């Protein structure tokens, strides 16, 4: 009887999981009729989330139908509402509101993450975000609409909530974006509000001075040690009482794993990620693997763990898909590892910073050289492979075996 692998999500992890499972199926000479691999997601499209802070965010997508067809991967459009691990089924709702149940022999949960919104008064009504496509498109529309409003300090001001990686990338993009929309001579103001005592708190002492200098060069202000307490239609009030008039507030302080992780009987971390076994299996659910932003996995034996990043999602996905297929085909599963860790942080139109290592993080490249690497990563490396069977399988193999 035919066996079925279901993969929830068509993001970086889901794509690599599907291709890796299909690659092993192909290598073992198993027919797609005997082992069906089905990706379930709202659309057969990769949303290139790391580019959602750029201009035209609606275009930051890549179609997947052709690569799925070339590799005999099935696609089922819909949103998984529930996972029943006792029955081995997922319940899916499609865009028309109809529901469907699919059975699985192995399930890969790669439903990603979303921006975390704490209950700050006014945030849901007045805050923007770039963590998902709809939010990024709405922000882009809002920025263009500013040009129609009367000129004022508040109109020309953007507050970015959160000085982590995403906050810095958004903030350093904003001066250029605003001048493009409002006019080159407009006195634009961009302010990062960070509750911690420094920007880029995870970056460490070697890279941080470069980032701080770059913020100063771009005229970006910072408010440290006090978070946003409240938003309204004309600005924000900080926890220390400071008022900033701003018609644009972009919230970029934190991510949470897909709520589907809460349906699985395993321990989760403070981001909602499942603490997976070495082969990415979900403890307590032996037929389920979690991967990408839904999983917290040890990357090495030094005490480091995967982060919510494409770098980790692609490789985690490749291991999870391989292991789901291996489990059904009688092959040993593989323990995930990813010892190399790099960060390439965008710092505006012509500069980035590239670091290597967990702690300390060593700066390898800055300026235009780092920017070139950033553009290669964001516009080439993380995109889906060509819709050619061998190319796609090689891409999935590389994602599992080639480290930075």
* Interface positions with ligand FAD (CB under 6 A): 8-14, 40-42, 49-50, 52-53, 79-80, 110-113, 130-131, 166, 258, 260, 292-293, 308-311, 313
CA atoms of 82 and 80, how far apart (whole Å): 6
Nearer to ligand FAD, 155 or 277 (CB): 277
CB of 262 to ligand FAD, least distance (A): 12
The residues, ordered by sequence, that sit 6+ positions from 153 with a Cβ below 8 Å of its Cβ are: 189, 245
Q: Where are the alpha helices (DSSP H) in 249-362?
A: 310-329
Nearer to ligand FAD, 45 or 237 (CB): 45
Nearer to ligand FAD, 3 or 93 (CB): 93
CA atoms of 112 and 13, how far apart (whole Å): 8
Q: Which residue is nearest to ligand FAD (CB)?
A: 11
CB of 257 to ligand FAD, least distance (A): 9
CB of 346 to ligand FAD, least distance (A): 7
User: What value, to the nearest 5°, has the Cα angle with vertex 326 and ends 34 and 103?
Assistant: 50
CB of 280 to ligand FAD, least distance (A): 12
DSSP of 190-239: EEEEESSSSSSTTT-TTTHHHHHHHHHHTT-EEEES--EEEEETTEEEET
Nearer to ligand FAD, 238 or 264 (CB): 264
CA atoms within 13 A on the CB side of 308: 26
Closest-CA residue to 334 (of 295, 402, 281, 283): 281
CB of 290 to ligand FAD, least distance (A): 10
CB of 150 to ligand FAD, least distance (A): 30
Q: Between the CA of residue 303 and those of 75, 298, 299, 320, what are the distances in Å? A: 37, 7, 8, 21
User: Omega of the bond prior to 376 within 30 degrees of 0, cis?
Assistant: no
Nearer to ligand FAD, 128 or 155 (CB): 128
CB of 62 to ligand FAD, least distance (A): 11
Element (H, E) at 345: strand 342-346
Q: Between the CA of residue 357 and those of 66, 97, 391, what are the distances in Å? A: 36, 46, 30
CB of 355 to ligand FAD, least distance (A): 12
CB of 77 to ligand FAD, least distance (A): 9
Nearer to ligand FAD, 60 or 238 (CB): 60
In the structure encoding, which two tokens stand for residue 341, read together? 């860790």
User: Cβ-count burial of 97 within 10 angstroms (0-12 exposed, 13-18 middle, 19+ buried)?
Assistant: exposed
Nearer to ligand FAD, 110 or 248 (CB): 110
Nearer to ligand FAD, 53 or 358 (CB): 53
Closest-CA residue to 53 (of 158, 196, 155, 194): 158
Nearer to ligand FAD, 110 or 157 (CB): 110
CB of 293 to ligand FAD, least distance (A): 4
Distance, CA of 248 to chain centre: 23
CA atoms of 266 and 276, how far apart (whole Å): 8
Partners of 83 in the beta sheet?
90
Nearer to ligand FAD, 167 or 227 (CB): 167
């Amino acid at each position: 009887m035919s066996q079925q692998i279901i993969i929830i999500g068509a993001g970086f992890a889901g794509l690599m999981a599907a291709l890796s499972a299909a690659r092993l199926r192909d290598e073992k000479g198993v027919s797609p009729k005997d082992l069906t691999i089905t990706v379930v997601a709202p659309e057969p499209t990769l949303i290139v989330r790391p580019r959602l802070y750029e201009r035209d965010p609606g275009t930051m997508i890549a179609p997947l139908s052709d690569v799925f067809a070339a590799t005999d991967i099935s696609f089922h459009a819909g949103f998984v509402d529930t996972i029943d691990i006792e029955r081995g089924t997922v319940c899916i709702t499609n865009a028309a509101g109809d529901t469907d149940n699919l059975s699985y022999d192995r399930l890969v949960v790669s439903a990603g993450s979303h921006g975390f919104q704490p209950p700050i008064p006014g945030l849901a009504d007045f805050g923007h975000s770039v963590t998902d496509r709809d939010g990024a498109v709405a922000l882009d529309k809002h920025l263009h609409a500013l040009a129609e409003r009367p000129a004022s300090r508040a109109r020309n001001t953007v507050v970015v909530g959160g000085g982590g990686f995403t906050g810095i990338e958004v903030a350093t993009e904003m001066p250029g974006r605003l001048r493009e929309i409002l006019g080159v001579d407009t006195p634009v103001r961009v302010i990062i509000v960070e509750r911690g005592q420094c920007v880029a708190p995870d970056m460490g002492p070697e890279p941080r001075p470069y980032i701080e200098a770059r913020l100063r060069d771009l005229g970006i202000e910072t408010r440290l040690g006090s978070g946003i307490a409240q938003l309204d239609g004309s600005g924000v009030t900080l926890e220390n009482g400071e008022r900033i008039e701003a018609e644009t507030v972009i919230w970029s302080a934190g991510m949470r794993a897909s709520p589907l992780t809460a349906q699985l009987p395993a321990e989760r971390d403070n981001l909602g990620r499942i603490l997976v076994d070495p082969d990415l299996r979900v403890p307590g659910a032996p037929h389920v693997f979690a991967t990408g932003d839904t999983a917290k996995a040890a990357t090495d034996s030094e005490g480091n763990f995967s982060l919510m990043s494409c770098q980790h999602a692609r490789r985690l996905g490749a291991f999870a898909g391989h292991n789901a297929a291996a489990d059904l085909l009688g092959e040993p599963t593989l323990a995930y590892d990813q010892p190399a860790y790099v960060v390439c942080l965008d710092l505006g139109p012509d500069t980035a910073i590239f670091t290597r290592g967990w702690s300390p993080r060593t700066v390898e490249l800055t300026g235009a050289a780092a920017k070139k690497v950033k553009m290669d990563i964001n516009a080439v490396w993380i995109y889906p492979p060509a819709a050619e069977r061998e190319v796609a399988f090689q891409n999935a193999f590389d994602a599992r075996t080639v480290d930075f």
